[in-house]
Structure 1
Amino acid sequence: MVAPPDNDVIWARSLHHSHNGSPGLGGVSLGIRDGEVLAVTGPRGSGKSTLLRCLSGQLVPQQGEVWFNSVPVHTMGPRLRERLRRDRFGWIASDPQLVPELTTWENAALPLLLRGVPHRAAKKTALEWLDRLDIGVVAKKRPHALLQAQRQRISVARALAASPSVIFADEPTATLHRADRTQLLRTLTTAARSHGITVVLATHDIEIAHLADRIVPLLDGRRVATVTLPAVSDTEGRSACSLSV
């Protein structure tokens, strides 16, 4: 194994992974600097989600290496990877994945409560982030009573409240209208930068990608220099735009 660079919080080399015989990743390597907002772009089916799942320890690559702060994630057992995801990583999906029986603030505080943070402290932190995301007024409501944009903001508050080292966001704005998409991502990236949190964002939306510090395009599971993405509108697409690195 080759030791990763000291200034990379996440470092991956030659990642290969397939799904039922279909290639997902074909030799992807990349380094992500501490505090960086990185956008992984490409059309649907290009391997973005598979890459994020490998980097976050949800998937073990069939070949290749993943390191977090110079610790090899790819050699960890399931329990260690689960602890890593719980304590050091945040995850935001396109589906908010909220617990329907819990209120808004309880959903936002859930990672802290699972860590054993006292109830009062967890609630205080959750409410602070909900207020920053302009949804503090619905703190006592349950997910079924909220709009989709509000539910997705809860998932962002939940990720930020846990003070992770890295947040992985897999198409977090896919179900939102254009205005909500931009506002949500601006809030996430601003909060992450102010708190020194690294963000790895998967998106096929060129406008969202340009909010990042750096862009890594994927096509058919491989890194490429240029990829063409549709300019996404509220009705999923207008013209096509080329994105280069």
Structure 2
Amino acid sequence: MAAPPDDDLLRAVGLHHAHHGTPALAGITLGVRAGEILAVTGPRACGKTTLLRCLSGQITPDEGEVWFDDMPVHSLTPSQRERFRREHLGWIDSEPHLVPELSAWENTALPLLLRGTPRRAAKNAAMEWLDQFDLGAVARKRPHALAYAQRQHVCIARAIAMDPDAILADEPTIALRRPTRDHALRALVSAARSHDITVVIATADPDTASVADREVRLSDGRTDGAPDAPEQEGRAACSLSV
């Protein structure tokens, strides 16, 4: 096995994976450069979520390799993969999964607290990003007292606040209205640019994909050969309505 090129933080090589005998990935190979924002697009059931879960180590591909820098994620043990995610990756799901017993700021700070960050420092980091989403006033409220969009924003803030090397986002704004969605995407892109965070967004929404530097389109578990040349970094700023 050889580590990926120096400028690739994440790389998938020849990924195959099936769910209960149904192919989800069929030989995917792609690289994501450090600091890049990549959109993985395509229709439902084309393999986008499976690809993200393989890249994050949540599932192990049936065949192929996943590299994070020089770390072979595909060959890590379950406990090593859990540690890898805790130390290096932020994850944003399409639904706002929060711990119901914890307040908004505690949910946002949770990855930092699990990593051993002192409580005061973890709270300060959480509050910084909750303020970015105009959630400072509800930071002490629990999830049941928050609107759906607020809960999803807490999840996005949680992924950013842990200061990860990469964030993997699976349709992170699919259920949000356009103004709210644009606000969330602007905050995510701004955080990625300012903190040099690599971002991979799986989405079927062209507007969401437009914030990326580059797009890779999947079809039936394969890349479909659509052009994926890097775009200008300013693309995100001009593609979102204010």
Q: Do the two structures share a fold, i.e. TM-score over 0.5? A: yes
CA distance in 1, matches of 2:125, 2:23: 41
User: What residue is the counterpart of 1:236 in the other structure?
Assistant: none
Contact 2:17 2:63 in 1 (8 A): yes
CA distance in 2, matches of 1:224, 1:193: 28
Contact 2:65 2:74 in 1 (8 A): yes
CA distance in 1, matches of 2:179, 2:35: 26
User: What residue is the counterpart of 1:129 in the other structure?
Assistant: 129
User: What residue is the counterpart of 1:51 in the other structure?
Assistant: 51
User: What residue is the counterpart of 1:40 in the other structure?
Assistant: 40
CA distance in 2, matches of 1:103, 1:3: 41
CA distance in 2, matches of 1:196, 1:22: 37
CA distance in 2, matches of 1:166, 1:110: 17
How many residue pairs align between the two structures? 227
CA distance in 2, matches of 1:192, 1:132: 14
Structure 1 unmatched ranges of 5 or more: 228-245
User: What residue is the counterpart of 1:70 in the other structure?
Assistant: 70
Moved more, 212-221 or 131-140: 131-140
User: What residue is the counterpart of 1:170 in the other structure?
Assistant: 170
Structure with more of its chain in helix, by fraction: 2
CA distance in 1, matches of 2:178, 2:121: 35
> 1:3 Cα shift?
2.9
- Give the AA of the match of 1:163: D
Report matched runs for 1:226-237 at 5 Å: 226=226
SS of residue paired to 1:66: strand
User: What residue is the counterpart of 2:211 in the other structure?
Assistant: 211
User: What residue is the counterpart of 2:145 in the other structure?
Assistant: 145
CA distance in 2, matches of 1:141, 1:168: 26
- Give the AA of the match of 1:31: G
CA distance in 2, matches of 1:124, 1:173: 25
- Give the AA of the match of 1:4: P
Give TM-score scaled by structure 1 length: 0.91
User: What residue is the counterpart of 1:92 in the other structure?
Assistant: 92
1:6-55 Cα distance to aligned partner (Å, 9 max, x none):
11000111000000011100000000000000000000000000000000
Report sequence identity in percent: 60
Which ranges of 4 or more aligned residues in structure 1 deviate by more than 4 Å?
A: none
CA distance in 2, matches of 1:3, 1:71: 8
SS of residue paired to 1:74: helix
CA distance in 2, matches of 1:181, 1:124: 25
User: What residue is the counterpart of 1:6 in the other structure?
Assistant: 6
User: What residue is the counterpart of 1:194 in the other structure?
Assistant: 194
> 1:178 Cα shift?
1.9
> 1:71 Cα shift?
1.2
1:116-136 Cα distance to aligned partner (Å, 9 max, x none):
111111111111111112111
CA distance in 2, matches of 1:47, 1:177: 25
CA distance in 1, matches of 2:121, 2:187: 23
Report matched runs for 1:22-41 at 5 Å: 22-41=22-41
